Amino acid sequence: MQKTLTKQQARRFLLRKHGLIGDYRFSSKQGILGFVEQAGCIQFDPIDICGRNAELVLQSRVEGFRKPLLYELLYEDRELLDYFDKNLSIIRLGDWKYFERSRRAHRMAGRGIEDVNKVADHIMSSIRERGPMCSKDFGLRQKVDWYWSDTNIARAALETLYFRGDLIIHHKKGSIKYYALAEDHIPAELLHAEDPLKSDFDHLKWRALRRISSVGLLWNKASDAFLNIRNFKSGERETIFKQLLEEERIIEVAVEGVKEGLYCLKSDSGALESALRDEDCAGRTELLAPLDNLLWDRKLIRAIFDFDYKWEIYTPEEQRKYGYYVLPLLSGDRFIGRAEIVNDRKRRTLEVRRLWYEDGVARDARLRDAIAECFQRFGEFNACEAVEMMDGGRF
């Protein structure tokens, strides 16, 4: 039976699902693992203006989150893994077996494959003998046509072997990736596990359900939330949504004022019923990541939150409406504005360069205190000793 929600109820459901309203649902390393399991993946982006995207996602949800915790889970505890899901992402190590189709595709084809195959054995044997290595360690100068631009053959080979599952990212120094043999760091029973998904259709179905869980609510139409799911065309999507409904793995939801039907996981029924009962919960004030899971479908956010957000990092400067690296600002069950923030590492100061409020936001003392407290926490997350409003203004 279809559920009908007001926009406010839909917002509160989504925020409960993401652990962005009320008391923190996630804390410490177990909280990080819990959120990644729920989300399926967190998008990774290397740009670090005031924290990298994955770190920004976690700082808004995981109580007491600090950047070293994620590094430890990736490169020391090895419970998380860098891999492609929704573009470059961070996933649970246990999900390795579900991506065998992707690895197999890269073994059979790929850009520069002939050049890469000529040096692949040399790359693998060198790492086997010397341990983790980066592209600069090989001294190979040949350039090849690569996905983003022409690049060094060593980098292309390392990335191809990583796509194929022969290598993993062992650790990073800044933005430099060091690769190691997958067999040395992934348990054999997982490394060589059979793909649990027996057909391409089953794989698409698993990916679709994973993305619905990641966002919380999604519609059955083309969406940026479905990026990097190969061959996920409208016909397959229609069939998959129909089957998931028949199997009672998803629920259809109508939101007042939103023309399209939306869908959530059946397992999220409890949070949905809480939203329908309008159960009160204390609002929090948080800065979100530009590629936050909640924001994967910007049109959906516009429809439910009446908030229009675009990450303008790739927009020419003269065409930007706000700024280069601007974070959405959530308070309670609404986005109240956005902020351009820079971590000045030399001065150990968090610079709030600009703060834009949405129309109609009542900037009373209570809200200003909540924003100040949010920015203070954000400064601590960035190991800053002070927070500074650059224009001399007030929150």
pLDDT tens, residue by residue, 191-214 = 999 999 999 999 999 999 999 999
pLDDT at 393 over 60: no
Please state which of the ranges 39-43, 106-110, 177-181 shows the lowest mean pLDDT.
106-110
**Residue 395 pLDDT class (50, 70, 90 cuts):** low
Domain ranges of the chain: 110-185, 285-389
Give the pLDDT of residue 391.
67
For residues 34 and 26, give the distance between their C-alpha atoms in angstroms, rounded to a whole number: 7
For domain 110-185, the CATH class is: mainly alpha
**pLDDT exceeding 90 applies to what percent of the chain?**
87
- Decide: helix, strand or coil at residue 158: helix
What lies within 8 Å, CB to CB, of 138 at 6+ separation is 122, 123, 126, 154
**Residue 110 pLDDT class (50, 70, 90 cuts):** confident
Mean pLDDT for 279-291 is 90
Determine the Cα angle at 20 with ends 22 and 59, to 5°.
120
State phi, psi for 271 to the nearest 5 degrees.
Answer: -65, -35
By the 8 A CB rule, do 196 and 98 touch? yes
Tell me which fold the domain 285-389 belongs to.
Aminopeptidase (3.40.630)
110-185 and 285-389 share one CATH topology? Answer: no
**Residue 277 pLDDT class (50, 70, 90 cuts):** confident
β-partners of residue 85 are: 87
pLDDT at 300 over 90: yes
Please state which of the ranges 25-34, 145-154, 263-272 shows the lowest mean pLDDT.
145-154
pLDDT at 133 over 80: yes
Name the residue with tokens 């004030």: 285
For residues 136 and 147, the model is more confident at 136
Determine the Cα angle at 324 with ends 320 and 330, to 5°.
95
**pLDDT exceeding 70 applies to what percent of the chain?**
98
For residues 123 and 138, give the distance between their C-alpha atoms in angstroms, rounded to a whole number: 8
pLDDT tens readout for residues 318-337: 999 999 999 999 999 999 99
Structure tokens at 9: 């109820």
Give the pLDDT of residue 278.
76
Helices 298-305 and 7-18 cross at an angle (nearest 10°) of: 130
Give the pLDDT of residue 276.
86
pLDDT tens readout for residues 221-261: 999 999 999 899 999 999 999 999 999 999 999 999 999 99
State phi, psi for 123 to the nearest 5 degrees.
Answer: -60, -50
Determine the Cα angle at 113 with ends 108 and 117, to 5°.
95
